[in-house]
Structure formats: structure tokens, C-alpha cells
Amino acid sequence: MKVGVSAWFANLPEFEERTREGRFGRSYPVPDVDQFRREIAMADLVEPLGFDSFWTIEHHFTPYGMTANPTQILSYIAGRTKRIDLGTMVLVLPWHEPLKLAENLAILDVLLDGRKLNIGVGRGFAAREYNTLGVPYEESRGRMAECLEIVRLALTQEFFSFDGEHFRIPRTSIRPRPLSPDLTENLLMTWASVESLEFAAHSGAAPLFTNYRGWDTLRENLGRFNALRTSHGWPASTSAIATTVHVHEDGERAREIGERYWRRTSAMTMWHYDRLASEYFMPGATEEERERYVRAGYEDQASAGLFGTPGEVIEQIRELQETAEVGHLITLHSFGDMPQDTVERSMRLFAREVLPTIKTFGGPEPRAMPYRAVVSDRAATSPGWEGKA
């Protein structure tokens, strides 16, 4: 099993003291640039501590995740490292002009010079991001399907064209050409609905879990995903899973620290996604029903965090791997406004006493079906899933 580290570049103090209450006349308690420096310092530990990869997210316009251009951040990390792989979790495809996205991925692949670029993608949900970007949420499924198709065409064919509902591209080519023989084999996809799970499985992507609610649901989702995947004659895939981690010699202390900072992060998550006010979330439900559902979800996420002594966390990861056939574990050590020395102490203890053991767990990394196999299957079976995300 490969083991990586992720960073959100969130500014929780600014959210709590300014943004949440709309008190924009106040000074920043923590400037965004300081938060960036803190996360870069954490990222600088990933390679020397023996982790296999570094990942970041895509969000816009709020302190929840100041990662508007993940490929730019990863290019910077690529220049600061020599060994580790990189990954996105996730690029929100409906927000992107697909040719520019494919170009950015190709450039990053060239800069990595043989290291692996994991391309995690998804559809996104936050109304404040969709509305501000001027992308109608009603078009998100179609835009995602077309963007995915164009990116895979651009990364695998020197010349191509595309004529869709949202994008029309004359015969063209992206440059530079990727260094990797087929970047589409590195495609991972996350989902938040049954329809998107089905699209991900039929698309040939590998499964990526970034927001799971308990291990029973995880097992059920992966089983359904691989059943759909094997219906095409494709092999089942291991999974990539992102989760919060905090390790301490005192297990109770680890759980107290981890849950405290994660719950505060969850409050910012709820605000960013604005689920209680979104017309797309549980249509027809009462406000009380929505709030109860959301809060239960955050309780599940908090309980899914890996918090404890090194020995306890090893056993939690062993159970997680057996539940979800984990091929790549992505650990989030820095969350909320956890002090930097607390983050570093946990990372170092995890690397020293947990990492050597868990790297022996599990099977190979998740692997997507190459785009050529998807095209061949589509031509042979016409399953009718094109255009649905």
C-alpha cells in the first residue's frame, strides 16, 4: 500500500473571526500567506519522512480551501522534491476549460520526469463556487462528462476534435505532449451520489474516497463500484482513501486533539457548502431534516478519523484496508488551526512507528482502465452512459 499526505491550505482562524460573521472590517488574525507557508512547511516533511506522495484539493473564493489552482501548487511541490508522486483530490471538472486543464496536466507530468501524477477528479457541489464561477449546476453532469472526454482525448491522441453540447473543439493538439505513456491510467474519481458512482465505474476510473461516512458504507460503495466495473469485463480496482490522522503516545490525548480540530473544520465545511440553504440538497426536506442529516454526516466523518497511539492507528488502518482494499492511503495531518508543532510531532511519530508497518498492507495502487480500453468497450457494448455524470 502506498501512503501519502494531503493539504487543504485552509484558514480556519480567518473563517471563525471574520468570514463567518461577515466582520470584514477586522484585520486578518492569520494572513493567508502565513497559512500557505505553514502548509508548505508541512509538505516539505513528506519526502524526507518516507511518505510516497503529496496531494491537494481544489476550492475557490473562501478560506475553506485556498487552492484555486491545484496543478500550480503541485508544480511548486514538484520543484521542491525528487522522489514522491503527486495527486489531486479533486479537480472539479465542470469548472474547467478542458483544453487548458489537459495542458496543465501535461506540463506537470513533464516536470515530474517519470514520477506519477495521480489525477483525481469529481463533480463538486458547493453552490457558492458554481454560482460565482458562472457555471449552472444543472449543467454539471453534462459538463463533467464532456470535460473528462476531452481531457482523455488530449492526453492520448496527438490530434483530435470534439463536438459536444458544451464544448466544440476543431482539430487540434496540446503541447507539450505528456511524458507518461498513458496518463489516463492514473485517473481516479470521487462521488457523492449513486448516479455519480455509476458514472465513475462505467467511465473506467479508479475509486477515490475523500468524504466517506463509516466503513459499512465504504464497503458497500466499493462493492457496487467494482460490480459495475467488472460488468464491462474490466478487473476490480483497489481504492484510494483520504482520511484525517492524529497520532500521540497517549491514545486519549490523540483522540481529544483530533476530534477537537476536526469538528471545528467541519463547521467551516458546513458553511462553505451551504448545504442547509442549497436547493440541490435534499429537495423537499424540512430545514430540521436537512440539519439533522448534515450533522449526522459530520459525526460519522469524525468517527472515521484515525486517532490514537501508533499501535491503535495501525490496527485501524489494517481494518480499513480489509474493508476497502486500500491501495493508496492519503493522510491529512494538518486540519483546523492545529499548531504547527503539534502537526509535525504527529507526522514524525506516524512516519517512525506506523508507516513502515502499513506500507506492507494491501495490494497494488488503484489503476484506471486506459482510455483506449474505454473507447473499445463503448464501441462494442454502447451501454448508454455517455453524457451522464
In a domain, 295, yes or no: yes
Confidence of residue 214 (pLDDT cuts 50, 70, 90): confident
Angle, vertex CA 301, rays to CA 132 and CA 191, nearest 5: 50
Q: Give alpha helix (H) positions in the chain.
A: 12-14, 32-46, 70-80, 98-112, 127-133, 140-156, 194-203, 215-230, 251-273, 287-304, 310-324, 340-353, 355-358, 371-381
Per-residue pLDDT reduced to its tens digit, 313-325: 999 999 999 999 9
Query: What is the structure's pLDDT at 263?
Result: 84
Query: What is the structure's pLDDT at 93?
Result: 98
Query: What is the structure's pLDDT at 286?
Result: 75
Q: Which residues of 329-360 are buried (b: 16+ CB within 10 A; e: fewer)?
A: bbbbbbbbbbeeeebbbbbebbbebbbeebee
In a domain, 386, yes or no: no
Query: What is the structure's pLDDT at 296?
Result: 65
In a domain, 41, yes or no: yes
Q: 28-37: which pairs have CB atoms within 8 A and are 24 or more residues apart?
A: 30/337, 32/63, 32/66, 35/9, 35/10, 35/11, 35/66, 36/9, 36/66
C-alpha 360/C-alpha 1 separation (Å) is 6
Answer yes or no: is pLDDT of 385 > 50: no
Answer yes or no: is pLDDT of 386 > 60: no
Per-residue pLDDT reduced to its tens digit, 103-137: 999 999 999 999 999 999 999 988 889 999 999 99
* Percent of the chain whose pLDDT exceeds 90: 80
Answer yes or no: is pLDDT of 383 > 60: no
Answer yes or no: is pLDDT of 149 > 80: yes
Pairing of strands 206-209, 2-7: unpaired
As a whole number, the mean pLDDT across the chain is 92
Domain count for the chain, please give it: 1
In a domain, 47, yes or no: yes
Among 103, 102, 69, 106, CA closest to 88: 69
Among 243, 206, 357, 359, CA closest to 5: 243
- Report, as an integer, the average pLDDT of 340-352: 98
DSSP assignment of 187-236: EEE--SSHHHHHHHHHHTPEEEESS---HHHHHHHHHHHHHHHHTTTPPP
In a domain, 367, yes or no: yes
Candidate from 150-154, 223-227, 259-263, 358-362 with smallest mean pLDDT: 259-263
In a domain, 279, yes or no: yes
Among 218, 221, 210, 211, CA closest to 188: 210
In a domain, 389, yes or no: no
- Report, as an integer, the average pLDDT of 233-238: 97
CATH of the domain at 29: 3.20.20.30
Query: What is the structure's pLDDT at 216?
Result: 84
User: What grid cell was written down for 290?
Assistant: 436537512
Q: Which residue has the cell 495542458?
A: 103
Peptide bond into 207 cis (omega under 30): no
Answer yes or no: is pLDDT of 384 > 70: no
Query: What is the structure's pLDDT at 280?
Result: 55
Confidence of residue 270 (pLDDT cuts 50, 70, 90): confident
Q: Which domain holds residue 168?
A: 2-381
Answer yes or no: is pLDDT of 77 > 70: yes
Query: What is the structure's pLDDT at 271?
Result: 79
Per-residue pLDDT reduced to its tens digit, 334-343: 999 999 999 9
C-alpha 79/C-alpha 154 separation (Å) is 25
Answer yes or no: is pLDDT of 370 > 60: yes
- Report, as an integer, the average pLDDT of 214-228: 92
In a domain, 387, yes or no: no
C-alpha 21/C-alpha 382 separation (Å) is 51
